[in-house]
Amino acid sequence: MRRNSIALSLLASAGIAVTWPARATDEPAQERGTITILFENDVFYRTDRDYTNGVQIAWTSPRLASEDWASRLAAALPVFDSDNEVRKSYAIGQDIFTPSDISLKDPPLDDHPYAGYLYGAVGLLGKRSVGDAPGSEFDQLQLQLGVVGPASLAEETQKFVHSLLNDTKPEGWHTQLHNEPALVLQYEHIWRYRLELPLHLELQADPHLGGAIGNVYDFANAGLMARMGFNLPDDFGPPRVDPSMPGSYFFEPRPDGKLGAYLFAGVDGRAIARNIFLDGNTWQDSRHVEKENFVGDLDYGAAVVWDRFRLTYTHTFRTREFETQRGADQFGAISLSFRY
């Protein structure tokens, strides 16, 4: 079984400590923030190609006081409402992309290029109430800065994990994309609609619009997520590695601390002008393939919230991302959030 990037979860949990302090807020004193660890991999479905691994660790602040720099910045931006409940987030992550047969020293030119992406991110999150529906709109703006290419350490990560698992040795990393500084600015807006159901169940529908610009991705996206469950936390679905269905790193459990759970399903469609992992390097010649300009995701999964913990699992079906791709992709995502 190929498990090329279980490595990243080890890297994230063993090598990265999240210690960003939060400033004074109006939240209860015991809340300092939320730590989220996210792991995505196609090993769940016995494949090892295309987008094959993503790992991320993030810290999200509690609701910020008005004098915090993030609150002041949000107030100055037209995409945030003046009465937003503002949070900030910091994240680091790594993504890995490979062709279908990693045993080949010279993969076919029409297959997905080898590529890695290592990045840090800072984000602004704004939640506001509309009418009688608390938290019924959500904005998130995120800036990613990083590197694509050998400096991303994707080759070392994959080879290290495969050696630990006695798995297939990746032979074609010398063909990967070249080093290139990476920048992505992404924005998402989510609306929430609620309906109370019998048996203490609740149904939520969360349509969204967004987009990204930079030398890594340029796209516009739209979609909808539906959730149904009991004792639903105040969140906007599970977080994911972008580009993907949007979610929230933070969650607010019920005050009574009761167990909550929900099932969810959703779709996200993207119109893509640029994807560096398919188009190749911006300023240098590199391997590339003819990308599809329209890509869709179908997600479904489940989330459980108890006390200060939220555990989620997502199964993603993704349509072909380039013309010569051997088929649609599917992969799984696990996230664990701890509110402390």
Residue 132 confidence class, pLDDT cut points 50, 70, 90: low
The pLDDT tens digits for 82-97 are 778 999 999 999 999 9
Average pLDDT of the residues of the chain? 89
What is the predicted pLDDT for the residue at 28? 43
Question: Buried (b) or exposed (e) across 225-250, using 16+ Cβ within 10 A?
Answer: bbbbbebbbebbbbbbbbbbbbbbbb
Could you give all domains of the chain from N- to C-terminal order, each with its CATH number? 6-18+32-339 (2.40.128.140)
Burial tier of 24 (Cβ tally within 10 Å: 0-12, 13-18, 19+): exposed
Give the per-residue pLDDT at 131.
65
Token digits of residue 159: 């080879």
The reported pLDDT for the residue numbered 135 is 59
Please report the DSSP string for 32-88 in residue order: --EEEEEEEEGGGGT---EEEEEEEEEEE--SPPTTSHHHHHHHHSTTS-TT-EEEE
**% residues pLDDT > 90 (the chain):** 78
* One-letter amino acid of 298: L
End-to-end CA distance of the chain, in Å?
36
Tally of CA atoms within 13 A in the half-sphere of 147 that contains its CB:
8
- Helix, strand, coil shares of the chain as percentages rounded to 5? 15, 50, 40
Q: How confident is the model at residue 261 (pLDDT cuts 50, 70, 90)?
A: very high
Residues forming a β-bridge with 299:
266, 316
Q: Which of 334, 120, 67, 127 is nearest to 251 (CA)?
A: 127
